[in-house]
């Protein structure tokens, strides 16, 4: 960390900063210029909070030199991480499409969804059994029964499943039911206790971006999971909240190349929750793949108008099939496979 002292900082103030740095187990290097004094804190600077240092008398600003995240940073781990889930891979040359309904409703709906997404080439199946709904009076998900329905339906087409965990008390049940990938939803991206718990298990985690989370906050949330020992983390950009009201969220395409540079972990995109309308999903999916996404998480329902949740944004099986053909062409154009 570099600490820039104010021009009027005196020796007592400089000594105060030095003492604070030494107290945290770091070494100090003082550089006295003609106008300012710079103090370098040498060692594991993550132990030092710039805000704490900036609150000391005579300090103008304190700056970290290295990134506050380490385990998830490409800076420390150059090779791309590839996560294997059953026969699906995330982070290699193949673009992994995960598809299925917003929520698990009935066995019939799940079996029809499974058949449709597998037929068109999806590599994993999604379906929410525990739904984070804005209103407590709307459908909250089928719960544990929904997990069984999801697993059963996906088993008929030999696909692994992705489903959202909202409550840490359900983690053991998720493991017992054989959930292949745990999704942490946008609303829980900074639920640090939940992140710590999924960090202790050996199940891949899809970490969705919070509704208004910065890239740095998102990376720090992933670092929470990695710090517990679970390095199988998949970032999922799902649109952020801005001043724009014409669509549900703004898909942050820029986040894809930025994350690919910042982290060695796979990055996928959810075009369904970004646009919020089925007719936008195709364009956003193509853009995401062209921008370097390692996969897509797409809502598909056998009968979108009858969906119990997010009906507006679900693709029908036919629309999904058309999209997969288009994505295959995009993949070929950029030297990837689907």
Q: Which residues bind ligand PEP (CB under 6 A)?
A: 102, 128, 132, 185-187, 208, 238, 270, 273
Query: How many angstroms separate the Cα of 99 from the Cα of each of 102, 123, 138, 306?
Result: 9, 8, 23, 17
Measured between alpha carbons, how far apart are the two ends of the chain, in Å?
44
* Nearest distance from C-beta of residue 273 to Mn ion, angstroms: 6
For the residues of 211-229, what is the DSSP string, one character each?
TT--HHHHHHHHHHHHHTT
DSSP letters along 54-118, please?
HTSTTEEEEE-SS-S--TTBTTT--SPP-EEETTEEESSSB-EEEEE-SB---HHHHHHHHHHHH
Contacts (Cβ under 8 Å, ≥6 apart) of 199: 224, 225, 226, 227, 228, 229, 230
- Asked if 228 and 252 touch (Cβ cutoff 8 Å), the reply is no
What, of ligand PEP, Mn ion, none, does residue 267 touch, CB below 5 to 8 Å by kind?
none
Q: How far is the CB of 98 from ligand PEP (least distance, A)?
A: 10
Q: Name the residue nearer to Mn ion (CB basis): 199 or 275.
A: 275
Which residues contribute to the site for Mn ion (CB under 5 A)? 102, 310
CB of 2 to Mn ion, least distance (A): 45
Nearer to ligand PEP, 120 or 272 (CB): 272
151 binds, among Mn ion, ligand PEP, none (CB under 5 to 8 A by kind): none
- In a 10 Å sphere around its CB, with 0-12 CB exposed, 13-18 middle and 19+ buried, how is residue 303 labelled? middle
Helix, strand, or coil here: 7? coil
Of 143 and 292, which has the nearer Cβ to Mn ion? 143
- Strands 233-237 and 205-208, by their bridges, are parallel
Instruction: Tell the smallest beta-carbon distance from residue 301 to Mn ion (Å).
Output: 10
Give 81 or 272: the residue with its C-beta nearer to Mn ion: 272
- Decide: 208 and 270 in contact? Cβ < 8 Å: yes
Spell out the residues 6+ positions from residue 267 whose beta carbon is closer than 8 angstroms to its own: 234, 235, 236, 237, 255, 256, 259, 260, 292, 293, 294
Count of Cβ atoms closer than 10 Å to residue 36 Cβ? 14
- Select from ligand PEP, Mn ion, none the partner in contact with residue 238, using the beta carbon and a kind-dependent cut-off of 5 to 8 Å: ligand PEP
Residue 242: phi and psi, rounded to 5, are -135, -165
**CB of 310 vs Mn ion, minimal distance in Å:** 4
Q: How far is the CB of 293 from Mn ion (least distance, A)?
A: 18
Q: Quick one: what does residue 162 bind among Mn ion, ligand PEP, none, with the CB cut-off 5 to 8 Å set by partner type? A: none
Closer residue to ligand PEP in complex, CB, 82/168: 168
Nearer to ligand PEP, 102 or 170 (CB): 102
Whether 161 and 104 have beta carbons less than 8 Å apart is answered as no
Cβ closer to ligand PEP: 102 or 265? 102
Q: How far is the CB of 116 from Mn ion (least distance, A)?
A: 17
**Which CB atom, from 286 or from 314, has the smaller least distance to ligand PEP?**
314
Nearest-approach distance from CB 237 to ligand PEP, in angstroms: 9
The rounded distance, in Å, linking the Cα atoms of 312 and 309 is 9
User: Which run of H or of E encompasses 271?
Assistant: helix 271-275
Which option in Mn ion, ligand PEP, none does residue 105 bind, with CB closer than 5 to 8 A by kind? Answer: none
């Amino acid at each position: 960390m570099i600490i820039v002292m104010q021009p009027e900082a005196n020796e007592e103030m400089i000594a105060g900063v030095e003492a604070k740095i030494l107290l945290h187990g770091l070494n100090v290097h003082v550089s006295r210029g003609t106008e300012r004094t710079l103090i370098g804190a040498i060692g594991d600077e993550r132990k030092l909070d710039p805000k704490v240092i900036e609150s000391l008398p005579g300090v103008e600003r304190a700056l970290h030199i290295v990134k506050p995240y380490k385990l998830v940073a490409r800076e420390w781990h150059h090779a791309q991480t590839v996560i294997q889930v059953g026969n699906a891979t995330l982070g290699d040359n193949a673009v992994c499409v995960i598809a299925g309904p917003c929520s698990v409703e009935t066995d019939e709906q799940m079996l029809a969804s499974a058949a449709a997404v597998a037929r068109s080439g999806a590599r994993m199946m999604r379906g929410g059994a525990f739904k984070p709904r804005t209103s407590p009076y709307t459908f909250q998900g089928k719960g544990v029964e929904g997990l069984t329905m999801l697993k059963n339906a996906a088993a008929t087409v030999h696909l692994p499943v992705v489903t959202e965990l909202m409550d840490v008390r359900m983690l053991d049940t998720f493991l017992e039911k054989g959930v292949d990938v745990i999704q942490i939803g946008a609303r829980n991206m900074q639920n640090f206790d939940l992140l710590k718990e999924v960090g202790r298990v050996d199940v891949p985690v899809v970490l969705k971006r919070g509704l208004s989370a910065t890239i740095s906050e998102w990376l720090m949330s992933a670092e929470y999971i990695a710090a517990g020992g679970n390095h199988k983390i998949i970032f999922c950009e799902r649109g952020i909240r801005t001043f724009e009201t014409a669509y549900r969220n703004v898909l942050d395409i820029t986040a894809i190349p930025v994350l690919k540079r910042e982290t060695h972990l796979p990055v996928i995109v959810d075009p369904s929750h970004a646009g919020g309308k089925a007719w936008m999903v195709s364009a956003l999916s193509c853009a995401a793949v062209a921008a370097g996404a390692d996969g897509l998480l797409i809502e598909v329902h056998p009968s979108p108008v009858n969906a119990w949740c997010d009906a507006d944004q679900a693709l029908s099986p036919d629309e999904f099939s058309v999209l997969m053909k288009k994505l295959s062409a995009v993949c070929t154009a950029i030297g990837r496979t689907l």
